[in-house]
Structure 1
């Protein structure tokens, strides 16, 4: 018997309905099911996400804390993270519990503020950004203990390879295959000639200090996590352990990328 954590896009009726069906299927096979809003502190073996990539991000955070695998059932548009389609979930779960799957590891990033806050791991990115429209923030960046540069910008994104196709991409960051381990630092609309991304090694330490006279907002995988006050610093590193995604031989990252951007074969 396994314990399965369930993360559901509650705003989509089809996701809620499918979750009820999946819960009953698991129960008939003597698996224990826990919901992310009910018993998220208990041990789990698998975290099952029903929704789109945003739902998978929530599931990955839970799975990382619980040392569990992640499996995504896609009810959104074609996504990078949720591999299983709604009409094949039963086959996928059967294959998973029979051991007929492979594990794909995805790098996570950890961040810590110098005021001692507890912050979650990120699968996509950590963003330090402006709070208000028409304003900028002043950010000073140190890499591996040495000063690199300062930005007056809308913000700074520090992404994983998985997150390179999310917010970082819209800020002109590079696309990095998610099998790699790297930190990708991308400024957002910087007021400087140097507006390029930096692709750093997985052992790099990125420290971002807020200067000027405006506090910055801290956003982790799209979720707000308060402010980084003027004079405060946030440190971003690769997390020691990756997220583990259960895969069944569906579309590769490059095939999804082609479909997303409408790239055709010659």
Structure 2
């Protein structure tokens, strides 16, 4: 088979662009069909397509930090992704830049031989309106619900129900529902618990609640509903980027998304990543 590979380099990162150029040369010598994202293509003079057009490829290589991989995951869905780490921590990007050529070419050879690569499935979350017809793009890290703005004076009352039973209701800056992947992101900064990547769970964490409850760990199949009131406007946000403006009172359902994200190749060491946290 002709292996189709997409390469996405962190925008305006010269080191990432140089590595992308080296990968293109190496993979084309192996007979792979390679494209890069549009920004990278303009910088290194290679065939370029929108990242969203890489969804049908056999493998997508993300070069940068975890933020770059989150962006790639939003665009390509279940297509296998391999992360090359140019960031500080790298919970998602397991491959060091010096190892990238060998790891990627080995993966492409595996694809050529077997038509598949080993990987780890990461669950994603989806927020939908209960009383309105809308759905946010799936989130690999978290769904956030907050008032007209985050911070002092921008809060709202949020009731959280789990399988129809009320867990808490309080005036808060916001409420997070996160995956194990997202437990090390926004959730951690709000004193939510760390969740090992192999755990099958979701976490509900309040932000600066007036009547706080401890963060709650639930089964991923639990039915979670968040009802926001006590404010003229509010927002539901997926992974800090995709957002929906709400007109309270409004109820949001948070469930597992249909498609997960596949991390291909070597996996990051969770505990090593924790050591790098400030």
Fold shared, TM-score > 0.5 on shorter chain: yes
Residue in structure 2 matching 1:129, options 133, 143, 146 = 146
Match runs of 1:188-199 below 5 Å: 188-192=207-211, 194-199=212-217
Q: Which residue of 2 aligns with 1:23?
A: 24
Q: Give the Cα separation in 1 of the matches to 2:95 and 2:221.
A: 33
Q: Which residue of 1 aligns with 2:254?
A: 236
Cα deviation for residue 240 of structure 1 reads 3.6
Aligned length: 257
Residue in structure 2 matching 1:58, options 49, 71, 88 = 71
Cα deviation for residue 158 of structure 1 reads 0.3
Select between 144-153 and 159-168 the one with higher mean Cα deviation: 144-153
Q: Give the Cα separation in 1 of the matches to 2:91 and 2:123.
A: 14
The answer for unaligned runs of 5 or more in structure 1 is 262-266
Please list every run of at least 4 consecutive aligned residues from structure 1 whose deviation after the TM superposition is greater than 6 angstroms: none
Cα deviation for residue 92 of structure 1 reads 0.8
Q: Which residue of 2 aligns with 1:184?
A: 203
Q: Which residue of 2 aligns with 1:32?
A: 34
Q: Give the Cα separation in 2 of the matches to 1:30 and 1:256.
A: 32
Establish whether residue 145 from structure 1 lines up as the match of residue 147 from structure 2: no
SS in 2 for 1:62: helix
Cα deviation for residue 164 of structure 1 reads 0.5
Whether the 8 Å CA contact 2:123–2:140 is kept in 1: the answer is yes
Aligned-residue CA RMSD in angstroms?
Answer: 2.2
SS in 1 for 2:225: strand
SS in 1 for 2:199: coil
Q: Give the Cα separation in 1 of the matches to 2:207 and 2:174.
A: 5
Establish whether residue 45 from structure 1 lines up as the match of residue 58 from structure 2: yes
**TM-score for the superposition, normalised by structure 2:** 0.84
Q: Which residue of 2 aligns with 1:80?
A: 91
Distance 1:102 1:81, change over 3 A: same
**TM-score for the superposition, normalised by structure 1:** 0.88
Whether the 8 Å CA contact 2:51–2:75 is kept in 1: the answer is no
Q: Give the Cα separation in 1 of the matches to 2:231 and 2:88.
A: 41
The answer for unaligned runs of 5 or more in structure 2 is 39-48, 112-116
Whether the 8 Å CA contact 1:124–1:162 is kept in 2: the answer is yes
Residue in structure 2 matching 1:105, options 121, 141, 144 = 121
Residue in structure 1 matching 2:137, options 100, 120, 125 = 120
Cα deviation for residue 186 of structure 1 reads 0.1
Residue in structure 1 matching 2:221, options 170, 195, 203 = 203
